[in-house]
Amino acid sequence: MLYRPDEVTETLRMVEAEHLDIRTVTLGISMLGCPSKDPSSLEAYVFDRVTSLARNLSLATAEVEDMFGVPIVNRRVALTPMSLVLEGAPPEAYPRVADAMDRAAAEIGVDYIAGYSALVHKGATPGDAILMRSYPEVLAATSRVCGSVNLASSRAGINMEAVAVMGHVFSEVGRRTPNASGCARLVVFANAPEDNPFIAGAMHGVGEPEVVLNVGVSGPGVVLAAIERHRRMDRRMDFASLAETVKRTAFKITRAGELIGREVVARLGPPVQFGVVDLSLAPTPARGDSVADILEAMGIERAGAHGTTAALYLLTDAVKKGGVMASSSVGGLSGAFIPVSEDSGMVDAVRVGAMTLDKLEAMTSICSVGLDMVAVPGDTPPETLAAIIADEMAIGVANHKTTAVRILPVPGTRPGDTVNLGGLLGELIVMEVKPHDVSRFVGLGGRIPAPLTGLRN
Amino acid sequence: MSKKVITEADIEALARDGVIEVVRGMIVTPLAREHASRRGIRLVYGGGSVPSSEDIPRDPVSGAKGPVTPDLVARVTEEVARALSGVSDRDARTTPEAPQDPDRPPLPPGDQVPAPREARERAVVVAAGMNRPGVAATLTAAISDCGADIQDISQTIVSDFFTMILVVNLDTLGPGWSFRTFKDRVESAGREIGAETVVFHEAILRAMHRV
């Protein structure tokens, strides 16, 4: 027998009942070859290059979806951080290029295009500063453009001046877009990976080849189902067997992800190369497709309760180990995502008060990203937003890991209010922020030095 | 005997109708193999040694093929068995049991021509539903209409509910058929008789369940 019936039905069950899908295939395109700093030529270059290289992305993914029966939920495009391409161009070029990105994404049928980004972990150039200050205008005027700023690294420390700027930027974007939804397309990082396929932090790093396809696999529902099956069948479930179950499942998901990614690359043809599989457990608002539900299946009554950080550690570590055995091309963020709004279990946990901003912050020292899709009242001072960002950057820098903040200050809301963003972005409960003043600390200026462990040579 | 090394640059030049026949004395580099698979070019190994149906002499009067001699059957069976066990023609000759070619020392590991299995396209058909006469017949008829060849069938019936899993070789798909049209044809045939039918490419099973 070529395949045992239980192997065939397991694959079918994962796809049909447990939401196994490829969360995203993201085409990274280098923009470093742009020959001009003239706004019109920049606009034309960006639009033409994206539309010509990514033209077949939707068709190729649809064909592969059909072939393997595994849904590919999103197709996205990531570009070289635009601050590098635009450095030296006049300030009016910035929004025009963002508009060209928006139009190109619409033209090829992708919902998000990322890379309106800057890398300022040690300091900002004049171009970086223009780009960061253009976010409120750009995010209000476009619907598909995503931006990210790398504010800190374990080698350089934390650029606190840029952190302070981004506190104001988040606040302003929150005011200028309905329900602060523009903030969902803006993220700040410590140790940003150059090959992350996930929106909004995707970018095509400077160390990447010309055109590369990265795959973000998902599957919290599959892991959840595996744990629940394991619990039903084996009453003596202990931590080792729990980790083993997650590892095996992550292995299978990753193998499927790499196969699908390579098949899409084969269809797109040169110059597209296969990049990485990012084995992040990325939840969706769909019931059962939740990381919080996995933590609860391990025996924690509500995500956010004491013990949550330990459970998340077990999960993230086992996912990485299973994935690394399955593929030699693992990259990106690779771990467990805990975006609040995009995970129905997390939303429930916030609603009943089990999950707070402080607990989330503790969990970000373990998970793959950070404070992700968190809503706070719109009248939160920009300095307090900057301080929230600074805390998160410190966790990343000190632990040599990626951390990020994607925070939505929603105007006119109070803690406990519900904000519905719709679609994949889901529903948010506004969280409580401490009222104490931190503006003197945030305003000290300069850079927090890199940790001793950053000096590894 | 001199050997010809086929590199990445040679692939396009050697391809005839998307196929390269790899014969004795050719060494295909791993990069070239990758390049071929990227360009959708199939490598056919041991070219010429596998008897094809065209090799069988036709009867000049009736046009029928024949005669099928015991010797021919034995040769075909041997080739098929070798292909199925994943051992290429060349591997078979370098195994200790097989007679050694005096001027061909065993190849170092890593330089072996991969098994022909690499080039094979298979689909898996899963059908489930209430058992009724004609389910299997309808599915297998739809599969053979497309020219595909069933390699494995397993079926379970629990009370009135059946599940059927077929592994189908797509290399023999008739002209004009693609994976897409095959999938549509078989899935709709299954659904017409009330069986929920799903067709997907075998590679996903191999990726998830075989290391």
Alpha carbons B140 and A422: distance in angstroms, whole number:
45
Structure tokens at A283: 């939840």
Lowest-confidence region among A103-117, A243-257, B43-57, B189-203: B43-57
A156: β partners: none
Task: Report whether A316 contacts A323 (CB < 8 A).
Answer: no
Alpha-carbon distances, residue A380 vs A171, A254, A357, A370, B59 (angstroms)? 8, 40, 14, 19, 92
**A279-295 pLDDT per residue, tens:** 888 888 877 788 999 99
pLDDT of residue A338: 84
Structure tokens at B59: 């009867």
Q: What number is the average pLDDT over the span B54-73? A: 54
In chain B, the residue whose alpha carbon lies closest to the alpha carbon of A272 is B38
Residues 263-292 of A with CB under 8 A from B: 263, 265-266, 269-270
Contact B156 A266 (CB under 8 A): no
Contacts of B39 in chain A (CB under 8 A): 269
Question: Is residue B188 over pLDDT 60?
Answer: yes
Alpha carbons B39 and B42: distance in angstroms, whole number:
9
Question: Is residue A142 over pLDDT 80?
Answer: yes
Task: Report whether A71 contacts A118 (CB < 8 A).
Answer: no
pLDDT of residue B107: 43
Contact B167 A7 (CB under 8 A): no
pLDDT of residue A200: 87
Question: Is residue B116 over pLDDT 80?
Answer: no
A6 touches chain B (CB under 8 A): no
Q: In sequence order, which ranges of chain B are alpha helices (DSSP H)?
A: 11-14, 30-38, 70-84, 89-94, 135-145, 179-192, 202-209
Contact B156 A259 (CB under 8 A): no
pLDDT of residue B112: 39
pLDDT of residue B82: 56
Q: Give ipTM to 2 decimals.
A: 0.79
User: Which of A122-136, B29-43, B91-105 is predicted most confidently?
Assistant: A122-136
Task: Report whether B125 contacts B168 (CB < 8 A).
Answer: yes
- One-letter identity of residue A289: D
In chain A, the residue whose alpha carbon lies closest to the alpha carbon of B125 is A8
Closest CA to A210 of A143, A275, A138: A275
Question: Is residue A310 over pLDDT 90?
Answer: yes
Lowest-confidence region among A71-75, A82-86, A450-454, B12-16: B12-16
Question: Is residue A13 over pLDDT 80?
Answer: yes
pLDDT of residue B128: 87
Q: What number is the average pLDDT over the span A13-36? A: 87
Q: What number is the average pLDDT over the span B111-118? A: 38
Closest CA to A169 of A409, A397, A376, A375: A409
Question: Is residue B177 over pLDDT 90?
Answer: no
Closest CA to A257 of A341, A314, A179, A323: A323
Contacts of A7 in chain B (CB under 8 A): 205, 208-209
**B74-90 pLDDT per residue, tens:** 666 665 555 555 444 44
Question: Is residue A399 over pLDDT 60?
Answer: yes
Task: Report whether A359 contacts A308 (CB < 8 A).
Answer: yes
**B36-57 pLDDT per residue, tens:** 877 778 877 754 444 444 444 5
Question: Is residue A26 over pLDDT 50?
Answer: yes
pLDDT of residue A405: 94
**A407-439 pLDDT per residue, tens:** 999 999 999 899 888 777 788 899 999 999 999
Distance of alpha carbon A335 from its chain centroid, rounded? 11
- Higher pLDDT pick, A218 / A239: A239
Task: Report whether B122 contacts B170 (CB < 8 A).
Answer: yes
Task: Report whether A429 contacts A351 (CB < 8 A).
Answer: yes
Percent of chain B whose pLDDT exceeds 70: 63
- Higher pLDDT pick, A186 / A331: A186
Percent of chain B whose pLDDT exceeds 90: 1
Residue with token string 């998000």: A112
Choose the mutation target among A1, A3, A252, A325 for the interface with B, i.e. most B CBs under 10 Å: A3
Contacts of B126 in chain A (CB under 8 A): 8-9, 12
Lowest-confidence region among A33-37, A166-170, B74-78, B182-186: B74-78
Tell me which residue in A5, A256, A270 faces B156 most closely, judged by beta carbons.
A5
- pLDDT category at A3 given cuts 50, 70, 90 is confident
- pLDDT category at B73 given cuts 50, 70, 90 is low
- Higher pLDDT pick, A12 / A243: A243
Tell me which residue in A256, A266, A270 faces B208 most closely, judged by beta carbons.
A256
Q: What number is the average pLDDT over the span A339-356? A: 89
B175 touches chain A (CB under 8 A): no
Contact A70 B204 (CB under 8 A): yes
